[in-house]
Amino acid sequence: MSRRSRTHSVAGIASGVLVCDSHRVLFVHVPKTGGVSVEGVMRRACPDARKNVEPRRGRHAPLGRILDSEPELAAYWSYGFVRNPWARMVSWYAMIDDWGRRIAAGGPGAVKNRGNDMWRAVGQYADFEEFVVRGTEEWPRMGRPQTAYLGATSHAREVDFIGRTENFAADLRVVQERIGVTPQEPPRRNRSTHGHYRDYFTDAARRRVAEVYAEDIDRFGYTF
């Protein structure tokens, strides 16, 4: 991958489900939408929060698979966050690029976080355009619209609240008030450092994101 991006450590990335039974709250973690920071807020109010549903449905499970495992969670107050799809892809790329460099260097991050099959595969792509165009074809997680994480057609259910990373502090306050945490802006964890997202895109990559994430773009009004 290109060396254009720099990120903080990716060690300690959490799973995609966080359930607080005592508060009857469910967080659905869409990848690269600020979810690690959101989880920290939720754990302050609910130290007994659990990361998995049984049987386990994997990392970053969408709402439908969560409710297939535990249908009773449909009665919990649920929420998740979304992000501009073009900016999200750059953040995702930057995180994996940084991970690849740490692995190659053999530093502490390489010992703590060996990544996953997707990271290892896309880490071999030549550049950002290949990451977008090929990655969204080969890896279902990359090609899944954010709305697909947050709705469960088979259960006639969608999360109760959808926040936006672009309005993170204000939307997180809605969550904090709902779960009984004094509203305050938390530190942003697992944040990627990179240039402006528009600088990364070729025309082919821009069109591919528009195609793959058309549902998100239409629903939330995102533009390039």
Tell me if 1 is assigned to some domain: no
177, 20, 202: which is closest to 126 by C-alpha? 202
Say if CB 32 and CB 95 are below 8 A apart: yes
Looking at 50-196, list the stretches that DSSP marks H as alpha helix, in order from N- to C-terminal side. 63-69, 85-105, 108-112, 117-122, 128-133, 135-138, 140-143, 146-150, 168-179
Residues 94, 88: Cα–Cα separation, whole Å: 10
Residues 177, 161: Cα–Cα separation, whole Å: 13
The backbone torsions φ and ψ at residue 206, rounded to the nearest 5 degrees and listed phi first, read -60, -45
| pLDDT (mean) for 4-18 | 45
Cis status of the peptide bond prior to 85, with omega within 30 of 0: no
Say if CB 117 and CB 32 are below 8 A apart: no
Q: Tell me the pLDDT band of 126, cut-offs 50, 70 and 90.
A: very high
Q: Which pLDDT score is estimated for 32? A: 94
Q: Which pLDDT score is estimated for 3? A: 33
CATH of the domain at 100: 3.40.50
Q: Which pLDDT score is estimated for 8? A: 31
Which of 4-18, 31-45, 140-154, 207-221 is predicted least confidently? 4-18
Residue 6 confidence (pLDDT) above 60: no
**Structural domain total, the chain:** 1
Tell me if 28 is assigned to some domain: yes
Tell me if 19 is assigned to some domain: yes
Higher pLDDT, 49 or 3: 49
Tell me if 198 is assigned to some domain: yes
Residues 129, 133: Cα–Cα separation, whole Å: 6
Say if CB 80 and CB 163 are below 8 A apart: yes
Tell me if 186 is assigned to some domain: yes
Say if CB 76 and CB 23 are below 8 A apart: no
Q: Which helix (H) or strand (E) holds 41?
A: helix 35-45
Tell me if 155 is assigned to some domain: yes
Range of the domain at 154: 6-220
